[in-house]
Chains A and B, each alone.
Chain A
Amino acid sequence: MTYLTFLEIALPELWEGTLITLQITLITLIIGFVIGFPAALARIYGGKALGAISTAYTEVLRGTPVLVQLFIIYYGLPQFGVTLPAFSAAYIALGLNSGAYQAEYFRGAIQAISSGQMLAAQSLGMNKLKAIIHIIIPQAFRLALPAWANEVVSMVKVTSIVYLTAVPDLMTKAKMLSSKYFNPIETYLTAAVFYLVIIGILTVVLSYIEKTTRIPGLEMEAEAR
């Protein structure tokens, strides 16, 4: 079989897998943001108890392999009577994992903002909540964007571990094709190109967002320092 005839069979399969990969990436990133951003706020502004919970969460999830986390949720929880479909298990495991990383990126961004910004807001009579929402968060999002873009790119690739729980993503499709046609080089290289294109497109989109949200004059100031 020539590579072209193989592609005719493989492309629709890989495309299906790509859609699943994108779906898992998107949902995972959203779950990660919904958990990670409040976790960062809790760690900085939440006081001792909330801060400790947030710290424990980020350290445990960043300190253990994501594959172990996925297996605990997919294979471990049924022992306690909680059996999750493969997709849900993937969303939860990867979402929790991404949340820990996103928490750290947002924490770094918030802490990079000079404490004078909060003082200035308070000196005008703003309460802390208003200052966080209107002064700190808009700046923190911009500062976190490069690291967050990195998390997006990384998550596209990390999702490939779901082939171990039989979620039909791009990696799983590639594995199936490879065992069916005994051509691992062609299959996996083709799959690699798919990943590369996804990530290339995402990178262009994210750097466009980074450019359009950049604060005018700020890069000038950074150079002057």
Chain B
Amino acid sequence: MVEPIIRLDNIHKSYGKDDILKGISLEIMEGEVVVIIGPSGTGKSTLLRCINQLTVPNSGRVWVDGVELTDPKVDINKARRHIGFVFQDVNLFNHLNALNNISIGLKLVLGMPAPNAKEKALLELKRVGLEQKADLYPGQLSGGQKQRVAIARALAMDPRVMLFDEPTSALDPELIGEVLEVMKKLAREGMTMVCVTHEMGFAREVASRIIFMEHGVVVEEGSPEQMFANPQFNRTREFLGKISELYGKHTE
């Protein structure tokens, strides 16, 4: 039997009295592209952050690539190296140019010598079509370019999985396309991806599975075909209808 590359078992997370996640279990296989949708405040981002332990769940267990990250004995910094994370608000390092944003992790975390790190960083910038922008600082790049550099920064670490937390929702509409193109290319190359996004064009095109979450639980999951054509729950149909209307158009 093939082991899932990401496994979540009964994840609970609450902030004070607010239960954000109420027992989420998930298995994601290598090469899958999973799109998580759901109303805001439903715990999608929290769930994503529980995977790489940027948010530590109150209970439940998380495995990535055979390592239990919720095990207190595990070196979480080491485990995170191979879990790429792309943030909604990008979070490029403001004081470093595009190239150094990518190479700093290679040097400081993987211990790569500077010339090799530079070479690899340039290669990753090329992958997202930004090799011309290597010397520019985040403040000199457009929102879409910044997010592509952030994706390149994560890819440079040779991640086993990539987590995307609403990577396009802070972008101007005309800049969303370039980021989605990079993500689609990645999906076609076989990268395991978990994406919190409402870009339904993207979901339709490359998702192997769509998960609909609400109030901290998984309401329904299935293939895009099944979810769009024949959802089991009215709530799913209603939500998909609404976001397809809002987000579906400009990516098709």
Q: A: which residues have CB within 8 A of B?
A: 114, 116-117, 119-127, 130, 134-135, 138-139, 142, 215-221
Partner of B139, one of A121, A124, A139, A216: A216
Which of chain B's residues have a CB closer than 8 A to the CB of A123? 52, 54, 80, 83-85, 87, 154
Q: Does A217 lie within 8 Å of B77, measured CB to CB?
A: no
A-B contact pairs, 29 of them (CB 8 A): A117-B91, A117-B93, A119-B54, A120-B85, A120-B91, A120-B92, A120-B150, A122-B80, A123-B84, A123-B154, A124-B81, A124-B105, A124-B109, A124-B153, A125-B78, A125-B157, A127-B77, A130-B108, A130-B109, A139-B94, A215-B139, A216-B137, A216-B140, A217-B136, A217-B137, A217-B139, A217-B140, A218-B137, A219-B139
> Nearest Cβ distance between residue A54 and chain B, in whole angstroms?
25
**Bound Cα distance from A130 to B85, whole angstroms:** 18
Which of chain B's residues have a CB closer than 8 A to the CB of A134? 104, 108
**Bound Cα distance from A134 to B157, whole angstroms:** 18
- Contacts A216-B140, A217-B136, A217-B139 given: A125-B95 contact, CB under 8 Å? no
Q: Does A220 lie within 8 Å of B140, measured CB to CB?
A: yes
Which of chain A's residues have a CB closer than 8 A to the CB of B224? none
Q: Does A124 lie within 8 Å of B157, measured CB to CB?
A: yes
Which of chain B's residues have a CB closer than 8 A to the CB of A220? 139-140
Which of chain A's residues have a CB closer than 8 A to the CB of B81? 124-125
B178 within 8 A of A: no
Q: Does A125 lie within 8 Å of B77, measured CB to CB?
A: yes
Q: Does A126 lie within 8 Å of B105, measured CB to CB?
A: yes
**Bound Cα distance from A135 to B91, whole angstroms:** 11
**Bound Cα distance from A220 to B139, whole angstroms:** 7
Most chain-A CB neighbours within 10 Å: which of B54, B81, B92, B108? B108
**Bound Cα distance from A111 to B77, whole angstroms:** 23
Q: Does B89 lie within 8 Å of A126, measured CB to CB?
A: no
Q: Does A135 lie within 8 Å of B93, measured CB to CB?
A: yes
> Whose C-beta in chain B lies nearest to the C-beta of A127?
B77
Which of chain A's residues have a CB closer than 8 A to the CB of B139? 215-221
Most chain-A CB neighbours within 10 Å: which of B83, B95, B140, B154? B95
Q: Does B109 lie within 8 Å of A126, measured CB to CB?
A: yes
- Which 10 A-B residue pairings sit nearest by Cβ, starting from the closest? A217-B139, A217-B140, A125-B81, A116-B91, A120-B91, A123-B85, A124-B105, A218-B139, A221-B139, A125-B80
